[in-house]
Structure 1
């Protein structure tokens, strides 16, 4: 229903015709098989792309597999007639991923920082509640004045943000912090550019105006998991925070834990500290005096044991 809101009559009729043919095939298949038999399954990814993404304005669909090309051609002739003409078999020596530099685009879509052609950049931060986008001028200082520089950067940012939302498949609440603009006309132009850019998105998007704090809020309907969730997993060391405690901080945590356990296990004769080599080295060097003072205080020897299996924030205290 959402995707049909801005569809043309021709696109709606084509979709109706596709569904009619699929239903006819299901009915025909049901008469050939017995009870409890599979008569329909969802399309493969390439066929779903032909059905859901390709439109009458699509000029080229390149497939580097002859077998897949023939399958898609057959499918298009039966169900998606407007996809037949742009469909072509790619025979180049370089792979399509290499030819179109797809790997680089994926890396950009997974990166927190996105460079703008003007020299500015965007910073994307995704949390459970929302996604924030911060716009910065960076090295872009050309133009008649600072106001002109900011305006041009924001215009380019609006276009890039709309594209990145599609590539990253970000959904839910998105807050954009454009660079502050003094003139209302400039703010309206940037807002209009953003609204124009998101019309290319097949997901439902609502763009609100600038808030009193100068932030733009928009919502994008969630369809599937974001690109980052599909291709990445949380760091086991930092637990997805994107940052680590310093080795010195871990040293202090270890010493507090030793003090706590010395009070709990009073019969212990010695405490062994197991941690990463980085942390153990700091305990034996920069924090050696603090460690010696702790040993004197609890009246128990402390031994250090580096282990490469431990991450920086991981450690164990073993009492003997």
Structure 2
């Protein structure tokens, strides 16, 4: 469960403690998140203003929402005097990629439990980069991975700090809520927020952090009605009013990491017209869903939307052929 103190006070206390870790400051992680207008003809045509949270530009490796879900977990690991971090993910996991970099900065060991026994570090760029940062791997069957997802503490040992897949625990939710406090804007001006949903950790945290009048739209990257039940249960545990959030389970386009030509064409077209790179697993589907919400007038004319870019662009390399942001459009 989250701490009982008021959210703002709790976050301020954690941030003050975080500032005492100079090695993290040395990574260049900013305290403020840039928010910028996102001009796009379709938004203009429907009279909707969309602003973009550039969490994707936070850090070259620790991008998007990954830092926020991990930072308070790292503090807790330090408090407990742990000498090793262990977490879970797929072969292209943005979460494990970021964790390896942070563990190296803290000079603490890291273990990644990876779904699928067939993978090879030497042939996978993400795994290779994480290994060069010092992370070691344990490859497990998909069945075993599901078991560990339900009971990660089956891998507990003395001095080891466990972080669930995607950083999805109370400290991860609290860290995600802190994203709102880092925004360089007045969030009360927005009618809606929008974000991709994986484990639901970032989604729940943002819902806690945003003003109650801002309706938060989540776009599930995973297939199945169970996602609606899982997110509803999470929101109920956090005492979040049902009217303040809406989860789409219809925009996954076939399931987790499933892509089609129209999605890839949209990502290319959007990048060419806006200069913003998206990826097909999370942010590309979330942006398409936002457009659908606008066209259906679920988000009516006159609305102002805050779209959170949750990063994950390193995962573009996991597609065949590898997808890359347009090199002709510089990062801002």
Is the structural similarity TM-score above 0.5?
no
- TM-score between both structures, scaled by the size of structure 1: 0.25
- TM-score between both structures, scaled by the size of structure 2: 0.25
Larger radius of gyration: 1
